[in-house]
Amino acid sequence: MHNTGDACAQKIKDRLAIKGVADFEVFVQERQGTTLESHDGHLRLFEKKQSRAWAIRLQRNAREGFSYGSDFSSAAIDQSIKTAWDAMDCYTPDENHGFSSDNRALEPQPFFDEHFEALTLSDKKQIISKITQTALNHDERVTAVKQARYEDEQEVTFIENSNGLKRSQQRTLFDVSAIAIAKDQLSEEMAQRFTARMYYSDIDPVHFGKVLAESALEQLGAHRCKGYDGPVVLRGHVMATLLRYWSTSFFADSIHAGTSYLSGKQGQLVYSPSLTLVDDPYNRQGSGCSLFDDEGVATHRTELVTQGVVTRFMTNEYWARKLRTSNTGNAKRLNITQRPSVHAHNLLLTPGTMTQEQLYSQLDSGVVVTNLLGAHTINSVNGDFSLGIAGVFIQNGRVKQALRSLVLSGNLHKLFANVHAVGSEQQFEGRYGGVSALIDRAVLTGR
C-alpha cells in the first residue's frame, strides 16, 4: 500500500489556507487487508477490504469544530471545513481545547511487518489449515472446527496540526479466531479462542490449535453444581477479559465526572499488593501497539497501579489540560467519525513468579474459572457483575471435575483487592494481557 497520507493532508491544508483557517488538526488513515473464513474445513469466505478517510478539527476562540469524510475532492473538503467551522458557534468556549505541540522523538521500534505485502493467499490459508488440523489431530474426541477465521490489516496513519506537529506510522495486525467441538458418549462441548498479533510470525497456529482443542476437551462431562464458597483461580484469558471493563476506571474523563470507582483514590492502596497494572504501547504481544496516539503524542509505558496502589490515570490532550496534569498519550479515535477520546493501548497485568501448577497447588480444593459468559453486562461505573462461568474443580492440585451452569457475582474492584497471588504467564485477548490469579474467596451459585 502506498502511503498517500502526506499528499492527502497537504490537499486538506491547502483548502484550509484558502478558507483562512489558522488553527487545525488533520488526521488521515488508510487501511487494507483480507479476511478468510472456513467452516468445517472448507473455505467459505475470502474478502479484500480497503479504505481511506480523513478527519479535521478546527479551533477558534476556545471553541472546537469537527468533521470527517472519505471523499478527497476539493468540493467535499470545502463542505466539511464549512461544517466544522459553523459547528464551533454551537459550543460554549472551553480554554482546555488545544492541539498537541509534542516534538519528542519517536521510539525506533516500528510495529509494521515488512513481509505483509509478500504474504500470499496460500500463506493465509495455511494458518487456518494448521489450526484446524492440529485441533482435530489432538484428540479423537475433537470432532469439528466449526469456524476458523483469519484477518490481516495494514494501516497507515498521518497526523499534522498547526502547532508544527507532524507524525506518520505504518502498522500491521493479524487476528485469528476459531470454534472447536468436542464430543464423548455423554456430552458435547464447544470452545472459542481468539488471538491478535502485530506480526505474522508471532501467530503460532499449532499452539493455538492445541489450546483450542484442550479448551473444548476439559469441559466434557461437566456437572451442574449447587454452589461454591471458597478460593478460586481465574485463568489468564479470563483476567484479560475483565481488564477490558476495569480499564474505564482509569480514564481521566470518568475520574473528573465522578463516574469512576477510583475518583479521589489516587495514591491509595485499593487493590491487592500482588497486582501491578500497566498500559504498554510497546508490548508486541498486544494488538494496541503504537508509536504515537491519535493526536500525535509520543506514547510511553504508564504504570497505573503499582503493587495495589493507584498511581496514574490515562489522559489525552484535552483532559491533561483540564486536570492540569501530564499527557499520557492515550488519545484514541474509535472510528473516523469520532473525536479522540481516552483509551488504553495495551493494558496488562505484570506477571508474578508462580506457574499455573504452583497456583493450583495452593488449593486443597477450589474452582478454576476457565470461561466467562456475559462479560458485556459488567457495570463499568461501579464494577458490579453477575456472570455465567464454566470451570473445573481442583483437589490437591489436580483437576477432578468439569463444572457448568454456575454464576459468579460480585464487584471487580473487590475481586482485585482479594487477589492472593498471580501467575507467571501472560495471556492476551487483543489489547488486554491477563495473568492467572488466585482469589482468596468468591461465591458461586448454581443456576
**DSSP per position, 259-290:** -STTTT-TTSB-S-TT--EEE-TT-TTSTT--
For residue range 399-431, what is the model confidence (pLDDT) as tens digits?
888 998 899 999 999 999 999 999 999 999 999
What does the pLDDT average to over 257-280?
A: 96
Q: What is the grid cell recorded at 388?
A: 455465567
pLDDT of 6 strictly over 80: no
> Which pLDDT does position 1 carry in this prediction?
61
Give the pLDDT mean for 322-347.
96
Distance CA 107, CA 292 (A): 9
Strand, helix or coil for residue 194: strand
pLDDT of 447 > 90? The answer is no
pLDDT of 237-256, one tens digit each? Answer: 999 999 999 999 999 999 99
Give the per-residue pLDDT at 176.
Answer: 97
What is the percentage of the chain residues whose pLDDT exceeds 70? 99
Distance CA 194, CA 175 (A): 8
* pTM for this predicted structure: 0.93
The confidence score (pLDDT) of residue 2 equals 58
Q: Which pLDDT band, with edges at 50, 70 and 90, does 319 fall under? A: very high
- Please write the tens of the pLDDT for every residue from 164-184: 999 999 999 999 999 999 999
Residue 63 has pLDDT above 90, yes or no: yes
Among the listed residues 247, 249, 278, the one whose alpha carbon sits nearest the alpha carbon of residue 265: 249
CA atoms within a 13 Å half-sphere pointing along the CA-CB vector of 23: 16
What integer is the mean pLDDT of 98-109? Answer: 88
Q: Are strands 188-197 and 166-183 parallel, antiparallel or unpaired?
A: antiparallel
Residue 424 CA to its chain's centroid (Å): 21
CB-based contacts of 126, cutoff 8 Å, min separation 6: 205
Cα separation, 197 vs 29, in Å, equals 20
Cα 184 to its chain centre, rounded Å, is 35
Give the pLDDT score at 126: 95
Helix (H) or strand (E) holding 10: helix 5-18
CA distances from 69 to 24, 28, 66, 74 (A): 16, 10, 11, 12
Asked whether the predicted pLDDT for residue 10 surpasses 90, the reply is no
Q: How confident is the model at residue 226 (pLDDT cuts 50, 70, 90)?
A: confident
Identify which of 144, 125, 127 has the alpha carbon closest to the alpha carbon of residue 39: 144
The average pLDDT across 20-26 equals 92
- List, in order of start, the domains of the chain with CATH numbers: 5-213 (3.30.2290.10), 222-447 (no CATH)
Question: In 3D, which of 206, 211, 444, 248 has the Cα closest to residue 341?
Answer: 248
Inter-residue contact 168 to 5 (CB < 8 Å): yes
Q: How far apart are CA 363 and CA 95, in angstroms?
A: 56
Least confident of 9-13, 198-202, 269-273: 9-13
How far apart are the C-alpha atoms of 148 and 38, rounded to whole Å? 5
Angstrom distance (rounded) from CA 152 to CA 116: 9
pLDDT mean across residues, the chain: 93
50, β-bridge pairs: 32
Q: Please say if the pLDDT value at position 145 is more than 80.
A: yes
Q: Is 230 left (phi over 0), alpha (psi -120 to 50) or beta?
A: left
Q: Is pLDDT above 80 for 89?
A: yes
Task: Name which of 282, 214, 277 is nearest 247 in CA terms.
Answer: 277
